[in-house]
């Protein structure tokens, strides 16, 4: 999706290893979000940030951490990956005019073995 990049596109990770999923936006949106989507299911919110310097926990935050040092970047870190974290991870932004209108990145497909 234009304006939001995620890296890597996909990754296979050994259990117990750490990894950081990157999300960068160039739309200068205040709010950013991380979701996970398991096969055949809807999205679940992991963490969010309403503005640079602040973060909050979503529905499924355990095992994940985030930081928001600036407006553009919102990395998601898995400190010690477990197989249940196998999922597709989507980063999203919202302008703040309406945080219900979110813009999603292309996703990162993560497999933890």
Partner 1 sequence: LAKTTQPISMDSYEGQEVNITCSHNNIATNDYITWYQQFPSQGPRFIIQGYKTKVTNEVASLFIPADRKSSTLSLPRVSLSDTAVYYCLVGEWTGRRALTFGSGTRLQVQP
Nearest to partner 1 of 107, 112 (CB atom): 107
Binding mask 25-44 for partner 1 (x = CB under 8 A): ------x-x-x-----xxxx
Q: CB of 110 within 8 A of CB of 7?
A: no
Structure tokens at 74: 């919102």
Q: Please say which residue, 16 or 56, places its beta carbon nearer to partner 1.
A: 56
DSSP state string for 11-75: EEE-TT--EEEEEEESS--SEEEEEEE-TTS-EEEEEEESSTT--EE-SS-TTEEE--SSSSB--
Q: How far is the CB of 14 from partner 1 (least distance, A)?
A: 24
Of the pair 62, 101, the CB lying nearest partner 1 is at 101
103 near partner 1, rule: CB under 8 A: yes
Q: CA-CA distances (angstroms) from residue 63 to 21, 28, 30, 87, 106?
A: 13, 28, 25, 13, 22
Q: Residue 1 is inside which H or E element, if any?
A: none
Segment interacting with partner 1, rule: CB under 8 A, options 12-20, 63-71, 72-80, 86-94: 86-94
Exactly one of 49, 78, 86, 105 binds partner 1 (CB under 8 A); that residue is 105
Which residues of this chain interact with partner 1, rule CB under 8 A? 1, 31, 33, 35, 41-45, 48, 50, 56, 58-59, 90, 92, 94, 98-107
């Amino acid at each position: 999706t234009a304006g939001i990049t995620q890296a890597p596109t996909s990754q296979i990770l050994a259990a117990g290893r750490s990894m950081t999923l990157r999300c960068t936006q160039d739309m200068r949106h205040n709010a950013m979000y991380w979701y996970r989507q398991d096969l055949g299911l809807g999205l679940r919110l992991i963490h969010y940030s309403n503005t640079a310097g602040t973060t909050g926990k979503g529905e499924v935050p355990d095992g994940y951490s985030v930081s928001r040092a600036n407006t553009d970047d919102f990395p998601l870190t898995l400190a010690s990956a477990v197989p249940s974290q196998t999922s597709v991870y989507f980063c999203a932004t919202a302008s703040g005019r309406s945080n219900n209108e979110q813009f999603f990145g292309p996703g990162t497909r993560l497999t933890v073995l």
